[in-house]
Amino acid sequence: MEGFGDVVSVEWLKDHLSDDNLIILDATIPKVSGNVSELSKLQIPNTRFFDIKNKFSNTSAEFPNTIPSKIQFEQSAQQLGVNKDSFIVVYDSLGMYSSPRAWWLFKTFGHQNVAVLNGGLPEWLNSGFSTESKQVIAYSSGNFEAKFNQDNVVYFEELEKISQDSNYKIIDARSSDRFNCIVAEPRKGLRSGIIPNSNNLPFQNILDNNTLKAKALIKQQFKVLAQPNQHLVFTCGSGITACVLSLAATTLGYSNSVYDGSWTEYGSLRKQNQ
């Protein structure tokens, strides 16, 4: 599909709304602070809901937003009518927050034709494009088949070795105040701290309001933290906003992965000064 990459503009989506094989997914989740977007009742026409919390996470896992099994992802995607040849555009109602997580999950389970809508629903509305009320629809089952790409994921057991390997760079997407332990973690009972030898790039720093900053500006920020030949490992609070950085890094050509458990897992399993 012409113009289809890892990120598409709202203008591109408007021009392709009626294309065959296009599936639009709303991957909105509430922020951990509990704030709910005023846009939660609206959607781009013909959108389907990509339920990260209940359908596309392992709900029996100890930590939030844990990556689902291959079979769970495959079946949940099929229930949304996703096919092998689907072109998928994901967005969220907060701009660029949780939609990159959906993009990352599709990439991790072998579906390459997936893009994030730059600026999400807010940018769509800012451009004056039409919306509709959210609705629940049953879809014909798709023929999507998941193929797990293990290179996209980093697990707790690998972190100690990675943190001491100069071929890797761990980058934390949390706010600078959280990274520097100036404010407490929003999750009750979770200690403050950082993964050893990690650097900080708050995901908001690569955004201009709702949209990604110009590629050249984002490239400058990554250049300060990492070498072009290093494999980047992104982390955050629970694996959501780390995917915003993964999306940006992918558009720049960096090899990268996401530490799925992120600080919620690491800070719980590894005690301070351990």
Long-range contacts of 241-245 (CB under 8 A, 24+ apart): 241/97, 241/100, 241/173, 241/174, 241/203, 242/173, 242/203, 243/100, 243/101, 243/103, 243/104, 244/96, 244/97, 244/100, 244/173, 244/203, 244/206, 244/207, 245/171, 245/173, 245/201, 245/203, 245/206
What's the CA gap between 72 and 110, in Å, rounded?
A: 14
Among this protein's residues, is 243 annotated catalytic? no
The single residue listed with the structure tokens 């289809």 is 4
Asked if residues 81 and 61 have their Cβ atoms less than 8 Å apart, the reply is: no
Query: How many other C-beta atoms lie within 10 A of the C-beta of residue 77?
Result: 27
The span from the CA of 147 to the CA of 207, in Å, is 31
Distance in angstroms (rounded) separating the CA atoms of residues 192 and 159: 18
Q: How far is CA 124 from the centre of its chain?
A: 19
Measured distance CA(190)–CA(181) in Å, rounded: 12
Helices (H), the chain: 10-15, 70-79, 99-108, 120-126, 156-163, 176-179, 215-225, 242-252, 262-269
Catalytic entry in 236, 243, 248, 258: 236
Q: Which two tokens stand for residue 270?
A: 């590894």
Q: What amino acid positions are annotated as catalytic residues?
A: 236
